[in-house]
Every structure is written in structure tokens, then in C-alpha cells.
Chains A and B, each alone.
Chain A
Amino acid sequence: MSATDLVGASGKQYEIVVGLEVHCELATETKLFCGCANHFGSLPNTNICPVCMGLPGSLPVLNERAVEYAMRIGLALNCTVNPSIFHRKNYFYPDQTKDYQISQYDEPINSNGFLELPDGSSVGIERAHMEEDTGKSTHIGGGGRIQGADYSLVDYNRAGVPLVEIVSRPDITSADQARAYVLELRGVLVASGASDGRMEEGSLRVDANVSVREVGSTTLGTRCEVKNLNSLRSLGRAIDYEARRQVALVDGGEKVVQETRHWNEHEGRTSSMRSKEEANDYRYFPEPDLVPLVPSPELVESVRAALGVLPAERRRRLAQLATDGAVPTEPIATVVELGLDALVLEAHADGADFRLALTRAANEAAAEPEAAAALDAHSFASLIKLESAGSLTATQAKAVLAEMLSHGGEPAEIAKSLGYEALSTGAIDEVLDGIIAEHQSEWDRFLAGDEKVTQFFLGQVMRATQGRANGKVVAEALSARKSRQSGNSN
């Protein structure tokens, strides 16, 4: 959304302020406080035990691997790793086995970081703390919500699954940036190995705190927390909707009520879930069943050392290769997101042209990311080199790449089997002779300097050769003839 979209009826200009809370399930083998499997998709209530069911007398024991993963996330987000403690967040809900959630509160494991986005902007990270997930309720009847449901079913397999909640600062200024933030965060989480980042399985869940203010104002407006954002598309639409709703209120002299709002994807709007007054008093207090978590500096450093290369650094490595002219930011972001950056880097090291390799990777290869990940970098480099040399036209190169993606093989051989022996200059000249004979008037215009008919002749050659001619070679042939014929007439 551009800023001009946020002009109120009064003509005042407004801007969006968004902070995101992202819940990320950790990819541990077992749950946060017991030995039950942390596995999505099992039969309901099969991965449960006295601890995650909160049975009387059971006690939590912290999963060390979950702590390590939480530290990885914090370090990947440039946070400080702190000594931390757990609190109890008390509220009644049937999918909460103890009717309190063990969560970190005012002493989180990670704080004060930032996430750099592909466009160069940076979003502050307030904290990334650990907590346990709840079970999953399914409400039957009553529109799928607990109020008015005929009955509800609860699957406690998810109860006690380790989560890290990543809370951004309100640094996000548009729906696009919010999407870019989540996409980048997902990349960081996956790269750190701490999460599979699957939004569709609920591994990644996003809530948005949205407010608006007049451009130029430095104070934050009243925010609303928007929930039920199940996709990047929902996130963007919900922010845009919510911002417009708030601008209409503020611009009309009304106040935004601080509340939690539910995004309805089907209706494309948010509606009130509960106001601040109705909000729970969670009665946080330190969890007496757990001891303080004090990671040693050595442990923190060993986790830091084991972190893989993160997306921002991978983008930087590619950007460094764009020595001639502007940095192609978007294709770089795409190949890094899909993990195809290594392919481009290796092809470049093998002598292939960087920009062409990047273009083919970010467009054709990116369309089939799984097959692309399996591409042999040397073969890919050979393809790029053939295209650069003019031995293959762009169209041909794309067709060869498609074949490489579906069946593998060496590009030169594939080109041969497809009949893509590049047409020689002589062959192209022969074709041109015929075309010029048929289209004399167009040819005269071309000679007279009408550049527009260049395209016409290119198209004709392509049609006559069924796309086998190299556009660059045809263009060269045309201009060679032009200078020859002009020379004769003089």
C-alpha cells in the first residue's frame, strides 16, 4: 500500500505502524517439558503423558534441546541471550491442560535484536521468548467458535509443544513490509534449523498489532491486535483493512478502541473479539516448579558458532557479484529464499555470467524449486555459458533448462536432441533474403531509419525459423545489411 492510500476524508495523511508477534514451533523431537513426541499429524491424543496433560502431581522438566533452539533463534536475530526464568500465565481454557501456560514474561531468554530485510530496511526485535503451546480445540456447531458450539473436541498432542514467540518492535510501516518481515523471519528460522517454518501446519503463527497516526506525528496511536492470520495474504489484507478502518475513525474525530480483533478471510474484514476491559488478567508469577535458566557464555558461543549462514549474509554474497550496475535485489531475495543462491554462486565461479545465471535461477529454476535444488551447478553453468555465447536463444535456453529440471542431463546434448543447433549467420542471411523479398515496403522503411520495423523483421525471422534464430545475431545481421546497402547507395 502506498502512503497516498491513507488519506482521510479530511485530506490528512496517515501512516501505518505495525508490530508483529510471531509464534514459531520448534522442530525438537520431544515436547518442552516432557518426553512426548513433538509431531504434527498423529492421531488425536496419542502424544500425551501425565506432564503435558497437567495431571495432578506431575511436574515439568525443561527440554535442553528446546533451549538450544531458542538460543539459535535469538542469536540469528542479533539478540542478547540472557539468564531467564519462566512464569505462569493463568487463564481458563479447555485446551490448556493446567489452566495456566508456562511462558517467559519479564525475563526472556532473548532480547533486543533486529532483523534485516532484503530491501535493506531493519525491524527491531524486542524479545524472543520460550513458552509451551496449547492443545487444539475443534468446536462443533455454532460457527466453529466456542460460543454457541454444540460441543468441542480437544486434541492435546500440541499441548506442551515448544514455541518461541518473536515480538517485533512497532517498526513496520506497510503491509508489504509486514509480509517481507514474516518471509525473512521464516527464512532465518529455517536456516537456523530451529523450525520448519510451515505456516500451513501452524508451525508459524502471526498476530499483528496495528495502529495509525498522522504523518509527522511521533506518538503511537491506539493499537488493535489482529488474530487469525493464517497466511501471508491474510496478513497483508488484514493490515490494509485494519489501517483503513482506523483512519476512518481517527479522521472522523472518533477514537480507536484498544481491543483484540478477529480477521475473517472470507469477508475480508476484522471484527471485535474482546475489549481491553474484557481482557484476561493473567496473574503472571514466577513458575515455582522450574529453576532459573542461566546459559553459560561458553554455551552461547558454541551455539553461535554452530549457526549456519543466514539469509542476509547470503544475499550480501550475491550482491557483491553485481559489480556492473544496479544490484538486482528482487531476484537475489528470491534465490536466497528458495535456497538457490549456492547454484548461482557456483555457476559464477565456474565462469558463467552472474546476471544471466541469477535471472534463470530466479525465474525458470525458481518455478520448480525442488528440482532446481537438485541441479548440477556445473551443468547449469554450461547452459548459461551457451546462452551468453549466443549458441542458444533465450527461448531455447529456457526449454533446455526445463528439460534439465525434469529429466537432468547436459545442456549441450539436450540442445542437440531438441534440434537447437544454433543457426549460422549464413542460414539467417538466407532466411532474411526471402523475407525482404516478400516485404519490400517494410524493408524500405527500415532502410529509411524507421526503427519500429526492426521488431517486425525480428518476428518474421523467428517465425520462419521456429524460434531457432538468436535474436542478437538477427539484429546484428539486420544492421550489417543496412550499413552495407546504405554504403552502396552512396
Chain B
Amino acid sequence: MSAIEIATAVRAGEQSARSAVEGALRAIREGDGALHAFLLVTEESALERADALDAAIARGEDPGSLAGVPIALKDNLCTIGVPTTCSSQILAGWIPPYNATVVAKLTAAGAIAVGKTNLDEFAMGSSTENSAFGPTRNPWALDRVPGGSSGGSAAAVAAGFVPLAVGSDTGGSIRQPASLCGVVGVKPTYGLVSRYGLIAFASSLDQIGPFAVSVADAALLLEVLAGHDRLDSTSIDRPAPKLVESLEEGISGLRVGVIDDFLTDASTATRRAVGDAASALSAAGALVDHVAIPALLDGLASYYVIAPAEASSNLSRYDGVRYGLRVDADDVEQMNSKTRAAGFGAEVKRRIMLGTFALSAGYYDAYYAQAQRVRTLISEAFARAYSDFDVLIGPTTPGVAFRFGEKSDPLAMYLSDLYTIPSNLAGHPAMSVPFALGEDQLPVGVQILAPALREVVMFRVAAVLESAAPIGVGAPIGLPESVAR
């Protein structure tokens, strides 16, 4: 069942929240041994919440637009009283004393969190192989990665454990796993969703967003997540957009640009999927043309300076003094150093070192300042393209899900995010919609990119793509055979 179906049935009293939650918990129990999408399943509190919700409905109260919908939370979102690990040893034993704003909003809307999902440590990675607690497997093929960093959330939705999940996207961490797992994944405009309580990776790029089995479910979830928050100074002070009501308005006359630069290095099936998507949009009345925006490909280099630079500072606080892991030593500097050496994984250390170097005296201008100039150029290139087009489309990621260990060279792994990174640098919204089956019968997502705060148009395009997708709505979604066995 979709989130909308569950919420409608629960609000109407036709289905209990408890049965919806029990269904999700059962699916996780049966399927997650093979996948490892969850780091923690909060069975007891989920059932308590479901019962409380059912009681409220019995009293005639309306618990909200996500009433009774089981939802999975990426384990970099702070949950009061529930361990939050970022898939890192360094946060061992830490229990947040507060909820992230999005967690509070979900609770207020009646959604029921069933657990915390796996991720690459501190969201640094594109495969969940960097999790300190072991990788998540792709429900479509257990020898393949689900993508990352929000691989656990993507896999949980793809496997049918939950209809909705929340992830975070710094350079593609929602869209890339959504593409690899055949689900809908959205990175909203920077500032649309509060970051308060999202454990920071790269503050100027991080943005929370939804995973869902359908475009409409993703729209419903984003309506709940979005909105101004006084606790986040970068939060945009305007009401959350109304996405669901205009989903079916169509795209007649809409100008759509296919980004040619994103096709060069994409796999054959991926290129074909984007071509088919363009035809489908054209058939639906859009004015489709090709566009070259070569500056976007410079995003990767810019990103791999800015994101590690911010991360090197954001992750300094994990020093063993106040919370989390502490490795004792003779003096405080040694304690800091030993704690961090033991607590962080290789990729996190690599990025801390990259970022520390990029900000160092004598190198700042050549690296950090230069990367910021490139970031500005990318925003300007987008602005020029958007004077001719309402939205842009392209592949989400160059190919289908890869095998574990296949991208052991960090640079090869970084290239997974080549097409997703530019939207983070510009602060624009972008989403991945499952569209076709590619190599080895694995899902291929098509990415829709839009200017800041144009989520409404982006979702209308997504709805058209979803209905035109040869793989059909929800068809491959659900527990694939590989997991059911």
C-alpha cells in the first residue's frame, strides 16, 4: 500500500495504525536479515505510538496527513531517546536529548517511525559500504550496493518494508540510491526543509528529503517536511509548497531541456532511458530540446573541496571530551587524536584531511576560494539555462547499481555523483524518478532538475514520467524475489 492509501484508510478508521505498523515490522523482521537496511528497529515505541494514534482516532481526532504511515529515518537524524549513530563508531553510546525538526514534524503529522536506517559513515559515500556497521544490500540484487549515502532508506522503501523514508542529500545521497533502488527520491531546494537535528556533513549543501514508492507519496511527505524553522538560520521563511493538489495539472507547453553533458559518460541503457523520458514528456505536450551546460561537470571538483572543508570543521567536535567514543590517553591532545583515529573510518578520515588541507594557510585561495568561484559559475550556468527552460532532465547517475567492492578507487566512487552534485552546489531542487530497467534488469532513474523553489513544476514533470514509465508504477517495487527467498 502507498502512504496515501494507508493514511486515508487510517484517518477514515478503515484500518488501524497498529496493523499498518505491524505490517511494516513483520516485513522488516522477515526481509531485513538479508538487506541490513536498518541499524535499529524501534518496534516497541512504534507500536505504542500506533496504539495512541488509534485511540486518538477513536476519540474523533485527526492525527494528520501521514496518520499511521510507517516511516524509516536515516540514522543521521536526531531522535530523542533513541541512539543516533551516523553509522560511525565515534558516536558510540550517544543518545540525542532532542528531536530533529523533521522528526517532530513527522510525529505531529501522524507518521510512525519504525527505525533508523543505515548510511555511509557521516553520509560520506555512494554505496553504504562506508558504514561502520556493515553495508546494506540492494533489494534488486543482493550482490549490489543500494547506492548511498542514504542506502538504508532507499532499500527499506524498495523492499516494501515501509512506503516512506527520510534521507539527506549533500551531493546526491537521496537521488543516487533512489535511482539504484528504483524508488522516488527528492532533494528539495536548500532551505526548504529545516536542517535542525540533521547531523551535519557539509552544512551549505546538506538537505533533507523524501524517499517514496510513488511521486504522490513523495509529494505528500515533502509537504510535511518543508516549512520555515526558527532553529535553522538558513531555513527559507515561507510556507511549505502545495505539491499534491497540482500533481495532475500536466506539463503542456512546459520547456524541458535535456542536459547533453550528462549523457556522455552514462551507460547505454541510461542514455536510452533519458531519451525515452524526453519522448514521453514531449508526447505529454512539453517543448523538449537539448542543452549543453558544460560548467556543470566542473561541479565534482568544486564539491570535493567545499564538502570536505565544511566536514573537517563539522566533525571536529567528535573529540572524546563530551560524548561518544573516548580512548583514554596521557593528555588531552593524545586523547583527541586516539579517539578520532579509532572512531572514524577511512573515508571520513580521507575527507577530513582533504578539507583540512584545503582550508590551510597558504592553500585556502587555491582550493577553497577557487572552489567557491566555480560554485558561483555553476549557479550562473544554471541561471542561463533556466532562461530558456522551465526544468532540465538527465540521468541521476551514470549507471545501474554496481557490485560491492567494484568501486574501491575513491575517485571512481565519487564519479557516481557527477550528475547530482550541481544541484547541491546551486541549492536547487532535483529528484530521481524510477523510469526503466537497464543493464542486468536493474532500475534506472531519470533526474529532474528545477530552479530554486520550483518544486511544484518539478513534481508535475515527475508525475508525467511516472505514468509513462515502461516499468509502470510500483510494478518492480515491493519485495523483490531475491529478498523474499
Contact = CB atoms under 8 A, between A and B. Distances in A.
Interface of A: 50, 53-62, 88, 90, 92, 94, 97-100, 146-147, 152, 154, 281, 283-285, 288-291
A276 to B, nearest CB: 12
A291 B233 contact: yes
Given A55-B96, A56-B86, A285 B231 contact: no
A99 B319 contact: yes
A442 to B, nearest CB: 79
Interface in B37-93: 76-78, 84, 86, 91
A99 B233 contact: no
B107 interface: no
B356 to A, nearest CB: 7
A94 B195 CA distance: 26
A152 B78 CA distance: 29
Given A55-B323, A283-B360, A97 B317 contact: yes
5 contacts: A54-B322, A55-B96, A56-B84, A56-B91, A152-B332
A304 to B, nearest CB: 26
A66 to B, nearest CB: 14
A57 B199 contact: yes
Contacts, number: 99
A291 B323 CA distance: 29
B308 to A, nearest CB: 12
A90 B196 contact: no
A289 to B, nearest CB: 5
Given A50-B98, A58-B98, A59-B231, 16 more contacts: A56-B78, A56-B91, A56-B94, A57-B76, A57-B77, A57-B78, A61-B230, A61-B231, A98-B316, A100-B313, A147-B331, A152-B332, A283-B356, A284-B359, A285-B309, A290-B233
A284 B232 CA distance: 22
B348 to A, nearest CB: 14
B225 interface: no
Contacts of B231: 59, 61
Contacts of A283: 312-313, 356, 359-361, 364
B321 A94 contact: yes
A59 B204 CA distance: 12
Nearest to A93: B332
Nearest to B97: A50
A59 B234 CA distance: 10
B332 A94 contact: yes
Interface residues of B, number: 45
Nearest to A62: B233
Contacts of B94: 56
B200 interface: yes
A99 B332 CA distance: 13
B128 interface: no
B199 A56 contact: yes
B321 A281 contact: no
B331 A54 contact: no
A61 B316 CA distance: 20
Given A90-B359, A283-B360, A99 B91 contact: no
Contacts of B200: 56-57, 289
B327 interface: no
B206 to A, nearest CB: 9
A95 to B, nearest CB: 9
In order of increasing CB-CB distance, the 3 nearest A-B pairs are: A99-B316, A283-B359, A288-B204
A345 B205 CA distance: 61
A288 B206 CA distance: 11
A3 to B, nearest CB: 38
A281 B359 CA distance: 9
A58 B229 CA distance: 13
Nearest to B191: A291
Interface in B303-337: 309-310, 312-313, 316-317, 319, 321-323, 331-333, 336
Contact of B195 (A59, A99, A147): A59
B424 to A, nearest CB: 12
B313 A285 contact: yes
A56 B96 contact: yes
A100 B361 contact: no
Contacts of B286: none
A100 B311 CA distance: 12
B313 A281 contact: no
B480 interface: no
B317 A90 contact: no
A285 B358 CA distance: 10
A283 B312 CA distance: 10
Contacts of A60: 233
A485 B270 CA distance: 128
Nearest to B90: A56
Nearest to B78: A57
Contacts of B319: 92, 94, 99
A450 to B, nearest CB: 79
Q: Chain B CB within 10 Å — which of A62, A154, A284, A289 has the most?
A: A289
A216 B368 CA distance: 43
A403 B302 CA distance: 76
A374 B309 CA distance: 58
Contacts of A61: 230-233
Given A59-B231, A289-B234, A92 B333 contact: yes
Nearest to B99: A57
B100 A146 contact: no
Given A99-B319, A285-B313, A57 B197 contact: yes
A54 B230 contact: no
Contacts of A285: 309-310, 313, 359, 364, 368
A156 to B, nearest CB: 9
Contacts of A147: 331
B198 interface: yes
Contacts of B309: 285
B282 interface: no
Contact of B310 (A53, A62, A99, A288): A288
A290 B191 CA distance: 12
Contact of A289 (B230, B233, B312, B333): B233
A290 B84 CA distance: 25
Contacts of B321: 94, 154
Interface in B119-157: none
B203 interface: yes
